[in-house]
Amino acid sequence: MSRTLVLVRHGQSEWNMKNLFTGWRDVDLTEQGVAEAKAAGRRLAERGLKFDIAFTSALKRAQRTCQFILDATGQSDLTTIRNQALNERDYGDLNGLNKDDARAKWGEEQVHVWRRSYDTPPPGGESLKDTGARVWPYYLHDMQPHVLRGETVLVAAHGNSLRALIMGLEGISGPEIVKLELATGVPIVYTLNADSTVATKEVLAG
């Protein structure tokens, strides 16, 4: 009974590199992002991890990261479920804007609140609390049952959708979860107890 859950934030995207709010915009990985995704796959393969199923978002930067990882573990054809419940937080009117330009328009303090508060959404967008309201039910209904059956599950998604997952898994408060930094392309490996609580956690940094 492995009961293993592996979370990976996608590799660097083109808009990460350009300091733009990305959200639901479907941008691709950079060369560095591809390298990060492949490196994540190698680290997982070196641990001898084999997956029973994979989940990813409806956005290609996460999908490609997922595929590079599966290629590295020799599981290119593994069943992979794509669902927008795992998409990045929707930044609404901030999508596509340079973060410095947004600060110039709305002010440093307001943009900081939108980016780093738990429950204050940007105009037309989602807060982290809103993101969790779609991510956590999807996890409980669609992903957790696989883990509790003893399977090894891969989730390749986004910084904020993964924050929402980690918040629930580890029982982290709203004010604390917004401080959590997730590096691109770095796997986090959890094993769960039979009652769904976390037994172990390991971050596979380079």
Q: State what percent of residues in the chain have pLDDT above 70.
A: 100
DSSP state string for 126-193: --HHHHHHHHHHHIIIIIHHHHHTT-EEEEEE-HHHHHHHHHHHHT--HHHHTT----TT--EEEEE-
Query: Whole domain around residue 36: which residue ranges?
Result: 4-203
Q: pLDDT band for 22, please (50, 70, 90 cuts).
A: very high
Q: How confident is the model at residue 132, as a pLDDT?
A: 97
Which residues are known catalytic residues? 10, 88
The CATH number of whichever domain residue 159 belongs to comes to 3.40.50.1240
The tally of domains found in the chain comes to 1
Give the model confidence (pLDDT) of 147-174 as tens digits. 999 999 999 999 999 999 999 999 999 9
